[in-house]
């Protein structure tokens, strides 16, 4: 079946540091890929998405590129802020329209 593997946290960074959260996937066919973010006390919300190979999703300074050859969708941001502290989930939409989530990576940004 489909699966998503993302780096375990927590990840602690200083403000303005570069962020990378790794995500790799296993799926049949051509899944769509997503990053969701969950801020403290809130529900998950879509951060960005990519629906085909080589697509780049971007939002709020975050970027991720759909790499079919490496089955990866790593999340990056050039300069993180304290307000980016949250849990980030990599996910894919595969066969039968089912979304599979990774375990989530907690990011803590310190001033």
From 32, 4, 17, select the one nearest 88 (Cα to Cα).
4
Q: Does 41 bind other proteins (CB under 8 A)?
A: yes
Q: Does 97 bind other proteins (CB under 8 A)?
A: yes
One of 12, 16, 98, 110 touching other proteins (CB under 8 A): 98
Number of shown-chain residues binding other proteins (CB under 8 A): 23
One of 4, 21, 23, 86 touching other proteins (CB under 8 A): 4
Rounded to whole angstroms, how far apart are CA atoms 53 and 65? 8
C-beta separation of 15 from 111 below 8 A: yes
Give the contacts of 36 (CB within 8 A, at least 6 positions apart): 44, 45, 46, 47, 88, 89, 91, 101
Q: Does 42 bind other proteins (CB under 8 A)?
A: yes
Interacting residue ranges for other proteins, rule: CB under 8 A? 4, 32, 34, 36, 41-46, 49, 51, 89, 91, 93, 96-99, 101-104
């Amino acid at each position: 079946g489909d699966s998503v593997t993302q780096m375990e946290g927590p990840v602690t960074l200083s403000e303005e540091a570069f962020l990378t959260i790794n995500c790799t996937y296993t799926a049949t066919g051509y899944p769509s890929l997503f990053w969701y973010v969950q801020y403290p006390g809130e529900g998950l919300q879509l951060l960005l998405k990519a629906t085909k190979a080589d697509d780049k999703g971007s939002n709020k300074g975050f970027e991720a590129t759909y790499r079919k050859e490496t089955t990866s969708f790593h999340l990056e941001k050039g300069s993180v802020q304290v307000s980016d502290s949250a849990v980030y989930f990599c996910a894919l939409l595969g066969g039968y329209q089912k979304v599979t989530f990774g375990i989530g990576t907690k990011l803590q940004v310190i001033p």
